Amino acid sequence: MTGLHPLVSILLLQAGYNTIVVMLGAAALGAATGIVGVFAMLRRRALVADAVAHATLPGVALGFIAAVALGFSGRSLPFLMTGAAITAVLAALAIQWISNRTRLTEDTAIASVLATFFAFGIVLLTVIQTLKTGGQAGLDIYLLGATAGMLREEAITLAVFSLIVAAVVALLFKELTLISFDADYARAHGFPVKLLDLAVLGLVLVVVVIGLRVVGLVLIVALLISPPAAARFWTDHTGRMTLISAAIGAISAYFGAAISAISPDTPTGAVIVLVAFSILLISVFFGSARGIVTRAIGARHVRRAS
């Protein structure tokens, strides 16, 4: 390890065993968000995903309170994750109800639900600070994410859930592609579009909840959307786009976890999102299918040839 910059040695998996496991777990999460993000983007669910992510905050807080009340540690993960999932589902239902039953548009519904749930979560966090239980100091990591202090078991759980998410997308791949491209056609030919939409939302929910610990609820939408947005510049195939998006998500999360290993005070989520955004920026200009520079060069070739 001597001679190498600490970041390089960590990236090359020369850090301790626990760090390695955490980095690989984060990479698995990044791959899963990259895969699900393709359909969140193509089916135009990015804003709903963001609202659902923010709506996990009151759930995390309520999970903490419930755990303490029942005599468990406030940071017990099953409580926090269950709470997060419940309020996220409630938010999704609220958005659906408002846009179907009132004359408000969907984006208005999304914005108001996002802000309201998040505000409720902030209030609950403040209440928790006044409790005399201890352990509340760790709760803010769910806002911006942290891999520091993450256990091996948590990383393995991440990897297992990521694998399940990837398998579900693989099995439903052609149907999810179909409803993303032409929902009316799918409906006319008897495909259960509502159920498939629910599957997309369910997958978004799963990656958001399992990603809270690493990326944090404020920024996870960026890890959902930046990888597919970047991948779109490299290919015109949904299948290849999904693989590239998975790779970009994995690389971003891996880097984020590595940098967190050096400087534990840096919020992991912020670093992950910045890496993902850098890849998006490079893709916008140099992507082989539709990057700005690639196209300009292609156009010049066409002009010369003619």
Minimal distance in Å, beta carbon 12 to another protein? 34
The reply to whether 246 sits near another protein by the rule CB under 8 A is no
Q: Which stretch binds another protein (CB under 8 A): 46-54, 180-188, 197-205, 246-254?
A: 180-188
Q: Which stretch binds another protein (CB under 8 A): 28-36, 120-128, 237-245, 271-279?
A: 237-245
The reply to whether 188 sits near another protein by the rule CB under 8 A is yes
Minimal distance in Å, beta carbon 299 to another protein? 13
The reply to whether 265 sits near another protein by the rule CB under 8 A is no
Question: How crowded is residue 196: how many other Cβ atoms within 10 Å of its Cβ?
Answer: 20
Question: Would you say 120 or 290 has its CB closer to another protein?
Answer: 290
Give one word for 13, left, alpha or beta, with left for phi > 0 and alpha for psi -120 to 50.
left
Minimal distance in Å, beta carbon 245 to another protein? 11
Encoded one letter per residue, x for contact with another protein by CB under 8 A and - for no contact, window 20-59 reads: ----------------------x-----------------
Question: Would you say 63 or 228 has its CB closer to another protein?
Answer: 228
Instruction: Number of residues interacting with another protein: please give it, by CB under 8 A.
Output: 25
- Contacting another protein (CB under 8 A), which of 5, 101, 132, 189? 189
Q: Which stretch binds another protein (CB under 8 A): 20-28, 73-81, 111-119, 176-184?
A: 176-184
Reduced 3-state DSSP string for the chain: CCCCCHHHHHHCCCCCHHHHHHHHHHHHHHHHHHHHHHHHHHCCCHHHHHHHHHCHHHHHHHHHHHHHHCCCCCCCHHHHHHHHHHHHHHHHHHHHHHHHHCCCCHHHHHHHHHHHHHHHHHHHHHHHHHCCCCCHHHHHHHHHCCCCCCCHHHHHHHHHHHHHHHHHHHHCHHHHHHHHHCHHHHHHCCCCHHHHHHHHHHHHHHHHHHHCCCCCCCCHHHHHHHHHHHHCCCCCCHHHHHHHHHHHHHHHHHHHHHHHHHCCCCCHHHHHHHHHHHHHHHHHHHCCCCCHHHHHHHHHHHHHHC
- Contacting another protein (CB under 8 A), which of 72, 97, 181, 286? 181
- Contacting another protein (CB under 8 A), which of 104, 171, 198, 296? 171
Question: Would you say 52 or 224 has its CB closer to another protein?
Answer: 224
Positions that interact with another protein (CB under 8 A): 42, 171-175, 177-178, 180-182, 184-185, 187-191, 232, 235-238, 241, 289
